[in-house]
Amino acid sequence: MAEASKKRARRSKASSDGRMLGCPSLVWGLVILGSLALNLVTIALLASIYEGNEPSGCRTQSAGLVAEDVREPQSSAKDEEEMVSAREISVSSTSGSRPASKDAVINLDHGDPTMYESFWRRMGRQGDITIAGWQAMSYFSDVTNLCWFLEPDFAHEIRRLHRLVGNAVADECFIIVGTGSTQLFQAALYALSPPDTTEPLNVVSAVPYYSSYPAVTDYLRSGLYRWAGDASTFNGDTYIELVCSPNNPDGSIREAALNSKNGKTIHDLAYYWPQYTPITHAADHDIMLFTVSKSTGHAGTRLGWALVRDKVIAKRMIKFIELNTIGVSKDSQLRAANILKVVSDGYELPICGSEHRLFNYGRKLMSVRWQKLREAVKVSGIFSLPEFQSALCKFTGEKAETYPAFAWLKCEKRGVDDCESFLRNHRILTRSGRHFGMEPKYVRISMLDRDETFDLLIERLSSLH
C-alpha cells in the first residue's frame, strides 16, 4: 500500500511537471483522464476504509466455502430461563440494552453501570483512547515493579485518584491489577490461605453479604479455602472475613464483625466513592479492593485494583494472577489509565468546568434517583427501604447523604414472602434476598441502569399496591 501511494505520488508529480512544461493537448487529455480515474479509485478506497463496511473484495475468496446463513449459535428462551436461574450473573434479552417498550421486562438483577454512559458521552474525545497495533504486545508492563503486569500509567492514575478523593491510603501500598475485583478477591483468598493447610480456611461475611462471595469461593471446591457463611454467627478463630463497605447489597457502612488475631480480612471497597457515600476517612486496611466498574462505570473493561500492605501477600496475589490469566489486559489498563486521568483532570485542571466532574455528576443523579425511589415506595405503601445517616464528606466538604448503588428493598405486603417472584410478575427482574443469606422478602435492585430503565422501575413500583 505504501508502495502504491508512492507510485501515485510519482504519477501526480509527473502530471504537475507536465503542466509546468506546457504539454500539448493530447498529453493534457491523458493527464486529466488519469487524474480523474485516480480520484475515483482513491474515493472508492477511502470509502471502504472509513465506512467500516466489510471491504467488498474481502469475502469473495472464501464466500463460496461458507454458507451465508452460518450464524452464532443462539440460545433458546428455555436456555435463557435455565441460565437466569442457574447464574450469579443472570442474563436475559433485556440485559445491557434499553427497554424496547413501556411493557418490556427490565433487568435490574445485576449492577450494570450504564447510567455513566451519558457522562462519558458528554466528555467527548477526552475519554477516547487510541492503541496502536504494535503497542503493548509483550506480556510484561514493568519488570521493575513487583506486579510486572501493571501498566505504570494506570498505577500512577490510581494513586493520583486516591489522593484526590481521599478514600484510601494508597501511597505506601503495593498496587495489584486484576481482571475486575472478582479476580482480585480470589487472588486474596489464595494469598491468605496457608499453602500447606490440611483443612480449607473458612471464608465468612456478615449477612446480607454479596451474593457472589459464596459461589466464587466454592466453585472449584478448593482445598485452600471454603465458604463458611455468615460472619456474625461464625464460631472460630481462623478465618478470612470479607468486609464490603458500603455494603453490597444494603449500602451499610461496615467494619469487620470478627476480631481474632488469627483472622484475616479483605476489604471490598468497590462502592467507597463520593457518588454513593460520604468519604469520611481514608481507608487503611491490609487488603483493599476497588474496581472501575463502580467508580467510573466501565464494567466491560473488567479491571480492578488491590491496595496491599504486605509484600508477601502481594507476591502471592500476583502469583495467583500469573497462574489464572498470566497478567491482565494491557488494553484495558491503558484505557482505564486515561479514564481515571480524565476523572482527576476534571477536578484538578482549572480549565475543566463542573460538567467534567464525574463524582458530582454521579452524586446528583443518584440523589434524584433515590428521591424518586423513596417517593415510589411511599406511594406504593407495600415496600420499605433502609434509612441512612448523613455525614460530613471530606471530599466535597459538605454534609452528604448515602445513595447506594443498589436498593435493598423489602416487601411488606401481607401474603408476599417472595419479593423477587412478585416483582418478576410485574416484569422487574431483581436478585432475591436468599442469594445474600437473607429472607426472600428482600430483593436487591440495581440503581445504576440507564434513565429509561430506571424510569420504568419507578413507574411500576409506584403502581403496585
**Cα separation, 319 vs 27, whole angstroms:** 71
Q: Which is nearer to a copy of itself, 226 or 424 (CB)?
A: 226
For a copy of itself, give the closer residue by CB, 145 or 384: 145
Confirm or reject binding of residue 345 to a copy of itself (CB under 8 A): yes
Identify whether the C-beta of residue 185 lies closer than 8 Å to the C-beta of residue 218.
Answer: no
Amino acid residing at 170:
A
User: CA-to-CA distance for 253 and 273, rounded, in angstroms?
Assistant: 12
Residues 6+ away with beta carbon under 8 Å from 29: none
Cell 446528583 found at? 364
Instruction: Decide: is 169 part of the binding site for a copy of itself (CB under 8 A).
Output: no
- Minimum Å gap between C-beta 451 and a copy of itself is 14
Residue 171 interacts with a copy of itself (CB under 8 A)?
yes
- By CB under 8 A, is residue 437 in contact with a copy of itself? no
Is the CB of residue 186 less than 8 Å from the CB of residue 290? no
Interface with a copy of itself includes 30 (CB under 8 A)?
no
Looking at the Cβ atoms of 75 and 390, the one nearer to a copy of itself is 75
With CB under 8 A as the contact rule, the residue among 83, 84, 207, 391 that binds a copy of itself is 83
Q: Which is nearer to a copy of itself, 160 or 413 (CB)?
A: 160
Distance CA 324, CA 426 (A): 41
d(CA 302, CA 306): 14
Q: Residue 325 or 371: which CB sits closer to a copy of itself?
A: 325
Q: Tell me the sheet residues that pair with 400.
A: 391
Among 62, 85, 389, 425, binds a copy of itself (CB under 8 A): 62
At position 128, the amino acid (one-letter code) is D
Instruction: Look at residue 20 and give its three-state secondary structure.
Output: helix
| Interface with a copy of itself in residues 89-128 (CB under 8 A) | 89, 91-97, 110, 112-114, 116-118, 120-121, 123-124, 126-128
Q: Contacts with a copy of itself: how many residues (CB under 8 A)?
A: 155
Residue among 268, 367, 301, 251 at smallest CA distance from 120: 301
Least Cα distance to 250 among 276, 215, 217, 285 occurs for 276
**Stretch near a copy of itself under the rule CB under 8 A, chosen from 338-346, 403-411, 428-436, 452-460:** 338-346
State whether the Cα torsion 143-148-151-153 is positive or negative: negative
Q: What angle do CA 306, 312, 317 make, to 5 degrees?
A: 40
- In angstroms, the CA 441 to CA 410 distance is 6
Q: Do residues 219 and 255 make contact, with C-beta atoms less than 8 angstroms apart? A: no
First and final CA of the chain: distance in angstroms?
68
Query: What does the block give as the cell for 232?
Result: 456474625
Among 254, 315, 364, 427, binds a copy of itself (CB under 8 A): 315
303 binds a copy of itself per the rule CB under 8 A: yes
Residue 75 engages a copy of itself in binding (rule: CB under 8 A): yes
Choice from 50, 77, 78, 101 touching a copy of itself (CB under 8 A): 50
Residues contacting 318, CB < 8 A, separation 6+: 146, 147, 148, 176, 187
Q: Mark 223-262 with x for binding to a copy of itself (rule: CB under 8 A) and - for no binding.
A: xx--------------------------------------
Interface with a copy of itself, residue 14, by CB under 8 A:
no
- Does 368 bind a copy of itself (CB under 8 A)? Our answer is no
Residues 396-435 close enough to bind a copy of itself by CB under 8 A: none
**Sole binder of a copy of itself in the list 45, 100, 368, 392 (CB under 8 A):** 45
Minimal distance in Å, beta carbon 38 to a copy of itself?
5
Nearer to a copy of itself, 95 or 462 (CB): 95
Cell of 397: 466538604
> Is 29 or 381 the residue whose CB approaches a copy of itself more closely?
29
Cβ closest to a copy of itself, residue 107 vs residue 402: 107
Considering only residues 189 to 208 of the shown chain, the ones binding a copy of itself according to CB under 8 A are 190
Kindly state the smallest distance separating residue 381's Cβ from a copy of itself, in Å.
34
- CA distances 449 to 114, 140, 246, 410, Å, are 5, 36, 19, 20
Q: Which residue from 30, 36, 100, 368 is in contact with a copy of itself, where contact means CB under 8 A?
A: 36
Of the CA atoms within 13 Å of residue 38, those in its CB half-sphere come to 15
Residue from 105, 145, 253, 413 in contact with a copy of itself (CB under 8 A): 145
| Residue among 304 and 385 whose Cβ is closer to a copy of itself | 304
The C-alpha cell 416487601 sits at: 411
Residue 63 or 379: the one with the smaller Cβ distance to a copy of itself is 63
Tell me the angle at which helices 180-192 and 311-325 cross, rounded to the nearest 10 degrees: 120
Q: Is 69 in the site for a copy of itself (CB under 8 A)?
A: no
